[in-house]
Amino acid sequence: GQQVMQIPQYQHVQEGEDFTTYCNSSTTLSNIQWYKQRPGGHPVFLIQLVKSGEVKKQKRLTFQFGEAKKNSSLHITATQTTDVGTYFCAGPRGGADGLTFGKGTHLIIQP
């Protein structure tokens, strides 16, 4: 079945440093979503990417969808303590409704 893999599993950064998480799918995706989950909270939708090579920005966050639509990345510039949490990518399940989530990247920020 379809697999969505994320790396790294954990990332420790000093406040102010940049952060990137990568997502790779075993199959071509029609679209990809990114979600953020704060510690003890629930996942919150961040963005959806649909087009090959698409790049979208939300303030300090930059999202990219690969040309082959099999990979994606999330880059945070100059991390802040409010960025702490787990970032998940998710893609449509092949041949069925619903999303397949990656295992997430835990972002830990040291002040």
Partner 1 sequence: NAGVTQTPKFQVLKTGQSMTLQCAQDMNHEYMSWYRQDPGMGLRLIHYSVGAGITDQGEVPNGYNVSRSTTEDFPLRLLSAAPSQTSVYFCASSRADSGANVLTFGAGSRLTVL
Q: Which is nearer to partner 1, 40 or 111 (CB)?
A: 40
Residues 6+ away with beta carbon under 8 Å from 21? 6, 7, 8, 11, 73, 74, 87, 89, 105, 107
Cα–Cα distance for residue pair 21/77, rounded to 1 Å? 12
Pick from 23, 102, 107, 109 the residue near partner 1 by CB under 8 A.
102
Pick from 21, 64, 79, 100 the residue near partner 1 by CB under 8 A.
100
x/- letters, 37..76, toward partner 1 (CB under 8 A): ----xxxxx--x----------------------------
**Amino acid identity of 10?**
Y
Cα–Cα distance for residue pair 94/2, rounded to 1 Å? 6
Where do contacts with partner 1 occur on this chain (CB under 8 A)? 1, 9, 30-31, 33, 35, 41-45, 48, 88, 90, 92-93, 96-104
